[in-house]
Amino acid sequence: MNSSTFSRNLYKYRVQQKLTQREIADQLNVRQQTVAAWEANRSTPAPHIICRLAQIFKITTDELLLSEEAFNKSIQPLHRLYIPELKIHPEDVQDIFSDKNILGYEQYLGKSNMQYFFIKCADDSMSPSLKRNDLILFEYTREFVDAQIFAILYQGSIILRKVNLFSDGIMLVPFNTESYECKYLQNTKINTDNKLVVLGKIMRSIRNW
């Protein structure tokens, strides 16, 4: 949960419905100062309190927790899409959707404003969660998000790794640590020595072959 987004939304919906902090506090059986602290982003309520707030405002918890842009994105309808299965050649990472990289297409229900692709898991580095030859769905992106699994070009090879972000670098983490090592890359070396390129963030494993 982004606490600053929650604080802004709490204030917005309370004012829209012409409720005071004390009135909210009374309905939740908490002190008025507690509600004031939530709105000032000094503390955040427990999950059951967030659910109760959503009931009071007659909104969903997503509306209370997400920014307007993120909420609008979350409610977009799903469409039947034809997603390319890729075998990405390292020399073609700047245009991964080129004809050279496309093996075929798979149907998938997704959001039409997102760009997806499938790749087949080539090893057991992410075992047991992802097994060799699993078909994996990715959302195309060039940016890392902390604690997510990504398809990455690293030192000339396409790999799957969980990414942990730090202030001065990133950690590439395999799940199968018996056979594969964690790699820590400093920010100053990511785009030079290691030739690292982000390709996509994992959405789900579709099937085993």
Q: Looking at residue 173, what is its pLDDT? A: 94
Residue 209 has pLDDT above 50, yes or no: no
Quickly state the pLDDT bin for 71 (edges 50, 70, 90). Answer: low
Residue matched to tokens 């034809």: 82
pTM: 0.60
Would you list the domain boundaries of the chain? Answer: 3-74, 78-207
| CA gap 192, 175 in Å, rounded | 26
Fold exhibited by the domain 3-74: 434 Repressor (Amino-terminal Domain) (1.10.260)
The stretch 133-149 carries a mean pLDDT of: 89
**What is the domain class of 78-207 according to CATH?**
mainly beta
- Written in H, E and C, the secondary structure of 135-164 is EEEEEECCCCCCCEEEEEEECCEEEEEEEE
Whether 145 shows a pLDDT value over 70: the answer reads yes
Would you state the pLDDT for residue 59?
82
